[in-house]
Amino acid sequence: MQFIVRQSGLADIADKVEAGERLTEADAERLFATKDLNALGALADLANQRRNGRRASYIVNRYINYSNYCILSCQFCAFSKKKRDADGFQLSSAQIVDKAREALALGITELHIVGGLHPSLPFSYYTDFLRELMALDPRLQLKCFTAIEVLHLAWLAKKSVRDTLLELKAAGLASLTGGGAEIFRKEVRSAIAKGKESAAEYLDVHRTWHQLGGRSTCTMLYGHVETVADRVDHMRQLRALQDETGGFTGFIPLPYQPDNNGIPVDHPPTGFDQLRTLAVARLYLDNFGHITAYWIGMGLKMAQVALSYGADDIHGTIVEERIFHMAGAKSPQLQTEKELVKAIREAGRTPVQRDTFYQPIKVWDDPEAAGVAKAEAGGDASGERARETNEAIHAG
């Protein structure tokens, strides 16, 4: 690696990485600017393996979108619809529970639930389906709602963000999702998501949730009209909040999908750009435990490669994904657990089934750890379900 880095002109940054020193914004911009993807990847892999070893994780989860009706009209979004649109939809609580029941049979440990800012559903709709899902199986980890959804729900409930989050938590909310961050810089945000919450509001929702003892992920939508400096500024603000609260479990860069929306781009994120973005994130976000290569946006093959470029997680089984696919994603709607395990092994990493909080449920290549790691982390119920799922996979 030393030879590769010397040839790249990044030796001074490599010295910082090896010494565990924090990188500056200027360092991050230099890393983005390098054409030597091998050197950048080697540095990111070093930083990742110091933190996570050769383990790479996935989660057995299911996505549910309760509705795509939305009062906003974000320029980049192909998901949101108005009531007049033929392809709009809205699920009842019973339909959400039915989808969850079907997914439980597949061994899921997490439901990931988001939707548009519905113009007429009452606040009780959201707390009711959370309670019904917890009644269905209290072992489920409910990862729900983006920051803008929380602000919308606070408006519906006529409560503060803090009190709204407390009520959602009492109903069963385990984690906030990281969606909706887009790019924080005001000029870019206005160009792609006019009318959406500000960067300060996004960060404040997550700050408040963290202060209540909650955890969440965070994201960055890249590859549209933003600059490299905008990306670095975005990550700087996330790193600062993580310094303050420590509440983020992982960072998920999302490559922009250019179809069926109001912001067409001639050159959507290339494989090179996807890998360098993950690598820079791993090196710059030194206070984040985990960096996720989102296979829905990248494709599973590229997510495999990303495990050598700083990523240590490839996300989950998903089952049904609408937001990226309505924007033109060509990836499958789902991956089986068996396929995710195979992909991680092919990348030369040890597969680890994780929970919502990136805690291990099972380390696949360690027979002694099968199904018990979750119990050691403080919750054996989902570990029992994981054992049943893994037995079914081996039988099949």
Q: What angle do CA 297, 299, 302 make, to 5 degrees?
A: 110
| The CATH classification of domain 54-358, taken from the options 3.50.50.60, 3.40.50.2300, 3.20.20.70, 2.60.40.10 | 3.20.20.70
Q: How far is CA 314 from the centre of its chain?
A: 10
266/73 Cα distance (integer angstroms):
22
Q: What is the pLDDT of residue 90?
A: 83
Question: What digits encode the pLDDT tens for the residues 206-226?
Answer: 999 999 999 999 999 999 999
Let me know: does 74 contact 193? Beta carbons within 8 Å.
yes
DSSP 209-276: HHHTT-EEEEEEEESSS--HHHHHHHHHHHHHHHHHH--EEEEEEEE---TTSS---SSPPPHHHHHH
Q: What is the pLDDT of residue 220?
A: 97
Q: How many CB atoms lie within 10 A of CB 13?
A: 24
Residues 304/309/311/313 CA torsion (nearest 10 deg) = 20
- Domain parsing of the chain, residue ranges: 2-49, 54-358
Q: What is the pLDDT of residue 73?
A: 56
Q: What is the pLDDT of residue 386?
A: 38
Q: What is the pLDDT of residue 39?
A: 95
Q: Could you tell me which of 235, 220, 282, 239 has the C-alpha nearest to residue 41?
A: 282
Provide the token pair at 273: 């750009």
Give the position of tokens 């009711």: 128
Contacts of residue 30, Cβ cutoff 8 Å, sequence gap at least 6: 10, 13
Residues 314/217/54/374 CA torsion (nearest 10 deg) = -100
7/30 Cα distance (integer angstroms):
15
104/137 Cα distance (integer angstroms):
9
DSSP 127-189: HHHHHHHHHH-TT-EEEE--HHHHHHHHHHHTS-HHHHHHHHHHHTEEEE--TT----SHHHH
Let me know: does 285 contact 44? Beta carbons within 8 Å.
no
Let me know: does 141 contact 383? Beta carbons within 8 Å.
no
Q: What is the pLDDT of residue 372?
A: 40
Let me know: does 42 contact 281? Beta carbons within 8 Å.
no
Q: What's the number of CA atoms in the CB half-sphere (13 Å) around residue 112? A: 24
Question: What digits encode the pLDDT tens for the residues 149-173?
Answer: 999 999 999 999 999 999 999 999 9
The pTM is what? Answer: 0.86
Q: Could you tell me which of 81, 88, 91, 102 has the C-alpha nearest to residue 129?
A: 91
221/180 Cα distance (integer angstroms):
8
Local structure of 355: helix, strand or coil: coil
Mapped to the 3 state alphabet, what secondary structure does 284-297 carry?
Answer: HCCCCCEEECCHHH
Which sign does the torsion angle of CA 206, 210, 216, 219 carry? positive
Let me know: does 353 contact 362? Beta carbons within 8 Å.
yes
Q: What is the pLDDT of residue 95?
A: 94
Query: In the chain, which stretches have pLDDT less than 50?
Result: 321-331, 333, 367-396
- CA distances to 56, 78, 229, 281, 349 from 301, in Å: 15, 25, 28, 20, 14
